């Protein structure tokens, strides 16, 4: 099975880690949706399109001094890639540092990201991708 979407998902995560909005725009379709549990300035933590991509990165950068992602496992099913691992973060204003498990679901079309969803628990990502028992 091809791991093309997993590789694209890893590239998205690297760009998020660097807060590289323009790289994310290049990896995404114009109608991309970002569903985040960290950046909740937008309605329900959802950002739309290329302008939303740039705002998402700005909101993350404003809130978090550090947001390092470690991926423990990956799975690709058709147009969906699921990554599970953990995120280490430190609040920009508070200086509070923590680590927590996380999961991410990516949906691609024609090699471009159309939907990103972040979850506080890896199991939630598997459920959202329809992969739970």
Q: State which residues of the chain have pLDDT below 50.
A: 1
Q: Which of 79, 76, 66 is nearest to 29 (CA)?
A: 79
pLDDT of residue 1: 42
pLDDT of residue 82: 96
pLDDT of residue 32: 98
Which two three-digit tokens encode residue 121?
Answer: 């628990």
pLDDT of residue 73: 94
Distance CA 2, CA 51 (A): 31
Spatial neighbors of 31 by CB under 8 A, at least 6 apart, are: 48, 49, 114
* C-alpha torsion 12→18→24→27, nearest 10: -40
Q: Which of 115, 126, 133 is nearest to 75 (CA)?
A: 126
Distance CA 22, CA 93 (A): 25
Distance CA 70, CA 81 (A): 16
What residue spans define the domains of the chain?
Answer: 4-128
> How much is the pTM?
0.89
Q: How many CA atoms lie within 13 A of 38 on its CB side?
A: 32
pLDDT of residue 133: 55
Task: Using DSSP bridges, classify how beta strands 80-91 and 64-77 pair: parallel, antiparallel or unpaired.
Answer: antiparallel
Q: Does 3.10.450.50 match the CATH number of domain 4-128?
A: yes
């Amino acid at each position: 099975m091809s791991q093309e979407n997993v590789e694209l998902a890893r590239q998205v995560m690297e760009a998020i880690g660097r807060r590289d909005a323009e790289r994310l725009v290049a990896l995404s379709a114009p109608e991309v949706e970002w569903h985040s549990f960290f950046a909740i300035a937008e309605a329900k933590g959802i950002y739309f399109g290329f302008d939303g991509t740039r705002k998402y990165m700005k909101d993350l950068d404003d809130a978090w001094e550090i947001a390092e992602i470690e991926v423990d496992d990956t799975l690709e099913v058709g147009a969906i890639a699921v990554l599970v691992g953990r995120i280490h973060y430190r609040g920009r204003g508070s200086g509070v540092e923590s680590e927590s498990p996380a999961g991410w679901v990516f949906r691609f079309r024609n090699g471009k990201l159309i939907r990103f969803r972040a979850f506080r628990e890896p199991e939630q990502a598997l459920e959202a991708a329809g992969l739970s028992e």
